[in-house]
Structure 1
Amino acid sequence: MKKYTTFIFIVLLAIPQFTNAQAAIIAMIFGDKVASEKFNLSMEIGVPFNSFSNVDNLKAKNGVNFGIAGNIQLNENWYISPTVYFLSKRTFKLEDTDLHSNDDYLNSLYTNTTAKTIISYTDVHVLFTYQLSDSNFRFGLSPQVSFLSKGRATYDGSEGELEQNIGGFVNKTDYGVIANVGYFLRSGHEGKGVIFNLRYYQGFTDVFKNDFQAGTNKSNYVALHVSLPFLTDELAAKNKKPEPISEK
């Protein structure tokens, strides 16, 4: 998991330069309307801690989500954000598990062992959020559909590590719902804004085929998530200005 942690750290270091450049490019190509208060794009980064139901000896590991969202303000309180995670990895370790292959001798070398497992998806969801009046807190729900990209497991045996493509043991789609609590820091990130999210995902479908894991194995995870809007310098300067004090 070190490489995912390093990836996230590098991305976070590059955020100020990256988002400044992206906002300028987007505004230059499409105009200021795609970087306005009513509509903007954002970079999405998340760290999910995922698990699956009815899977024995499973140890959750942190994965990574990375993608882009379109953010639309419907009115003073309601927002909608269609989102695509081009990179979505659900990572876990299986203890006391066996290799599943067509080679009986190879299977015998990798029994009662551990397997580091990564399932990669492309996630698509549409987050509906409500922001409380005179508050920075947002509460939202979203359906999500995940399309399988690949799956792999690395088994640790007496002959060393063995990596196996397990995509054939995983169903092609997973769908469920996200519950989200967010906090919008308007003045953060040099005025371009930051939204910190805590979210929970519950899947409704069987992820694994029965020849890999018996029973119904529904996906679920808790994720820490950051949304970084692409805004113009003019809007960022406006966000950094203190709110005017109303006279009574």
Structure 2
Amino acid sequence: MKKLLIAFILALFSYQANSQVLISLLLGDKLNSDGLEFGLEGGFNWSSMSGLETNSALSQFNLGFYFDIRVKNQWFLNTGVLVKSAMGVNKLTDNDLTVLDARTYADEGTYSQVVRYFAVPILAKYKFDNRFFLAAGPQINLRNRAWIEFNSDNDGIEAKIRQDNRDAWSRFDVGVTGNLGYQLQKGLGMSFGIKYYQGFVDIYKVDANFKNRSFFVYLMVPIGKGKAELD
């Protein structure tokens, strides 16, 4: 976990530096003005799927960017893209492996299903005077890659094998997201919070009733600073 946290921090700052230059060129002095806040979002999520026997959550790191667009007073449109995001499930059972048509190996180990997405939330967001905020709305996920991963560690020999199965998963996933967060300072500043995603679409082409669900913890970091701060 410590190594993952260090990697997350390094990736966040590296991504922030590159994104700030690009978005600043595109938006100019509108970047983080009174009506628009742009920044990076990163964190961890724990996901699972209905339709399988296992309930063991798959933990993944995610990273992307967000926009808060003021609609009126304390109401905002919250959107963006998680460009590095995955959902799935861990510790597949024998029955799960059969359903997923997975290759199995003689060595002892664990199997997990990983599906990577580009995640696009479209949320209505309300900021309270005490710096808490709530957001809710639909989310669209575009499937990028998918694989079954086998991990083993026997007699000091570690192995990781991936079996690509992206064609078995639907290209799109649609659901709803609820979000509770807190801004660390008034005006423009970092925020952190939790959110939950529930998919509504059957995502596995071979069998019905496979739906994503995921719990997130996240950190949002605004990039740059315009002429005016957000209230």
TM class by shorter-chain length? 0.7 to 0.9
In terms of Rg, which structure is larger? 1
Distance 1:2 1:56, change over 3 A: farther
Equivalence map 1:198-237=2 (5 Å)? 198-210=194-206, 214-232=207-225
Aligned residues of 2:92 and 2:112 also touching (Cα < 8 A): no
Please state whether the residue corresponding to 2:53 is helix, strand or coil.
Answer: coil
- Residue 7, structure 1, aligned to residue 3, structure 2: no
Aligned residues of 1:176 and 1:201 also touching (Cα < 8 A): yes
CA deviation after TM superposition for structure 1 residue 199, in Å: 0.6
- Residue 117, structure 1, aligned to residue 116, structure 2: no
The alignment's TM-score, normalised by the length of structure 2, stands at: 0.80
**Match for residue 176 of structure 2?**
177
CA distance in structure 2 between the aligned counterparts of 1:149 and 1:28, rounded to whole angstroms: 28
Aligned residues of 2:49 and 2:88 also touching (Cα < 8 A): no
Instruction: Count residues in correspondence.
Output: 224
**Match for residue 135 of structure 2?**
140
* Residue identity in the other structure for 1:10: L
The alignment's TM-score, normalised by the length of structure 1, stands at: 0.75
Please state whether the residue corresponding to 2:138 is helix, strand or coil.
Answer: strand
Question: Which has the bigger relative contact order, CA under 8 A and spacing at least 6?
Answer: 2
Equivalence map 1:65-84=2 (5 Å)? 65-84=62-81
Aligned residues of 2:118 and 2:142 also touching (Cα < 8 A): yes
Partner residue of 1:50 out of 39, 47, 53: 47
Partner residue of 1:59 out of 52, 56, 79: 56
Please state whether the residue corresponding to 2:68 is helix, strand or coil.
Answer: strand
**Structure 1 unaligned runs (5+)?**
244-248
CA deviation after TM superposition for structure 1 residue 63, in Å: 1.3
CA deviation after TM superposition for structure 1 residue 89, in Å: 1.4
* Percent of aligned positions that are identical: 22
CA deviation after TM superposition for structure 1 residue 207, in Å: 2.0
CA distance in structure 2 between the aligned counterparts of 1:151 and 1:29, rounded to whole angstroms: 33
Aligned residues of 1:45 and 1:66 also touching (Cα < 8 A): yes
* Residue identity in the other structure for 1:7: A
CA distance in structure 2 between the aligned counterparts of 1:229 and 1:223, rounded to whole angstroms: 19
* Residue identity in the other structure for 1:220: R
Distance 1:25 1:60, change over 3 A: closer
* Residue identity in the other structure for 2:74: N
CA deviation after TM superposition for structure 1 residue 33, in Å: 1.9
Distance 1:37 1:113, change over 3 A: same
Cα RMSD between the aligned structures?
3.4
- 1:164-185 alpha-carbon deviations (Å, 9 max, x no partner): 0011221111100001111112
- 1:62-110 alpha-carbon deviations (Å, 9 max, x no partner): 11221112211222210112211111112432333336669xxxx5746
